[in-house]
Amino acid sequence: MTRQAPTRIVVKVGSGVVAPGGRLDLDAVGGIAREIAAARDRGCLVVLVSSGAVAAGFRDLGLGAMPASIREKQAAAAVGQPRLLAAYADALRAHTLVPAQVLLTADDFDNRQRFLNARHTIETLLGHALVPIINENDSVAFDEIRLGDNDRLSALVASAIGADLLVLLSVAPGVIDKTTGKVIAEFTDTDAARAHIDVSKSDTGVGGMATKLDAADIALEHAVPVVIAPGRPEGGADPLAPILDGEAVGTRFPVPVDKRGPGARKSWIAFSTQTRGAIIIDDGAARALRDKGASLLPKGIVSVEGRFDVGAPVEIRTNDGALVARGLTTYASHELERVKGSRSDEIEGVLGYAYAPEVVHRDDMHVPGDTA
């Protein structure tokens, strides 16, 4: 089967790739920047999720090895984070690309308002042709620094922005067959892959293959295929280009058949959330949502029912009560009362600020009959 070339990818780079032995490898960082530039040249938007802050900073604490305590890891991250970003900035600048740092934790995706803020920020950066570099906020986070080494976070980012592919680059070449010792090219589910792994981890990372499979579970649930591949392949070859071409590099996890079609997040919006209120829209807005795949703009709003906060799930209905869609609102009910009927470029003048031009973005909306 011919795979459609991805146009939006999330690349997660492990600590062992960019800071082996706890020392920042500028050549490795330069290689990542080169690959991002090559992907951009072929029309692919790239979001980079990079570990390495703790590994790049712990030696400045006078430590000879990766710290074991959470507090020392957080302190090391505070030292290593600006160093890591500066290295990426220098490397990307050589390709006339500009990075933009976004610090997140997994908790940001559990809170609807913070989830929307994160997604809108990343989307805006991509829209301005910047390269978002997502770092785990290790200096304050706990779960990521203890459990995930950014793998889970990268899957949440991929799900949030509707990525076509999540690539996990690590010191491992992929999932190794425990009998033959060779990389297994593809699995149809992660359970089969788990039979071949152990719980070991690299000397600079806290993840290991188990957390990569956990990340794959999250991504696949949201219809994002995953590739686990070597970030430091033998011979110095760049792995990303052949991956984007669909070649057999590392271990691939295609989206299961039952997850194809409408994304899992939109299904969650449609069926698994309790709405907090309703936005009543005019017939023109209803047609735009149903027939044109549009986002909901304030101009089409007639009235607002109920009280709800930013990020709340709401129904979108016509005056006669017909359900048009369900979605996550970018604005709270009291804000919508003030901007209803206004043009998007008038929101800031009315409120004194503007989160986004859309009241409900199409990516955060489920319209019955949607096929994507």
| Same-domain check for residues 15 and 39 | yes
| Same-domain check for residues 33 and 155 | yes
| Same-domain check for residues 294 and 223 | no
| Same-domain check for residues 236 and 318 | no
| Same-domain check for residues 324 and 203 | no
Q: Of the residues 195, 226, 259, which one is the last residue of a structural domain?
A: 259
Domain assignment present for 372: no
In the predicted structure, residue 48 carries a pLDDT above the cut 50: yes
| Same-domain check for residues 101 and 199 | yes
CATH at residue 348:
2.30.130.10
Mean pLDDT in the chain?
85
Domain assignment present for 354: yes
| Same-domain check for residues 287 and 235 | no
Q: What are the pLDDT digits (tens) for 103-151?
A: 887 677 767 777 778 888 898 899 899 999 998 765 555 454 444 568 8
Least confident piece of the model among 143-152, 264-273, 335-344? 143-152
Residues spanned by the domain of 349 = 264-366
| Same-domain check for residues 228 and 283 | no
pLDDT score of 300: 96
Q: What is the 3-state secondary structure (H, E, C) of the chain?
A: CCCCCCCEEEEEECHHHHCHHHCCCHHHHHHHHHHHHHHHHCCCEEEEEECCHHHHHHHHHCCCCCCCCHHHHHHHHHHHHHHHHHHHHHHHHCCCCCEEEEEECHHHHCCHHHHHHHHHHHHHHHHCCCEEEEEECCCCCCHHHHHHCCHHHHHHHHHHCCCCEEEEEECCCCCECCCCCCECCECCCHHHHHCCCCCCCCCCCCCCHHHHHHHHHHHHHCCCCEEEEECCCHHHCCCHHHHHCCCCCCEEECCCHHHCCCCHHHHHHHHCCCCCCEEEECHHHHHHHHHHCCCECHHHEEEEECCCCCCCEEEEEECCCCEEEEEECCCCHHHHHHHCCCCHHHHHHHHCCCCCCCCECHHHEECCCCCC
Domain count for the chain? 2
Domain assignment present for 76: yes
pLDDT score of 104: 82
| Same-domain check for residues 78 and 23 | yes
Q: What are the pLDDT digits (tens) for 154-201?
A: 998 898 888 999 999 988 889 999 889 899 999 988 889 998 887 554
Domain assignment present for 270: yes
pLDDT score of 271: 64
Domain assignment present for 280: yes
pTM listed for this prediction: 0.76
Domain assignment present for 279: yes
| Same-domain check for residues 223 and 300 | no
In the predicted structure, residue 2 carries a pLDDT above the cut 50: no
CATH at residue 16:
3.40.1160.10
| Same-domain check for residues 202 and 322 | no
Domain assignment present for 371: no
| Same-domain check for residues 276 and 233 | no
Q: Of the residues 236, 259, 282, which one is the last residue of a structural domain?
A: 259
pLDDT score of 285: 96
pLDDT score of 368: 84
Domain assignment present for 344: yes
Q: Of the residues 231, 259, 287, which one is the last residue of a structural domain?
A: 259
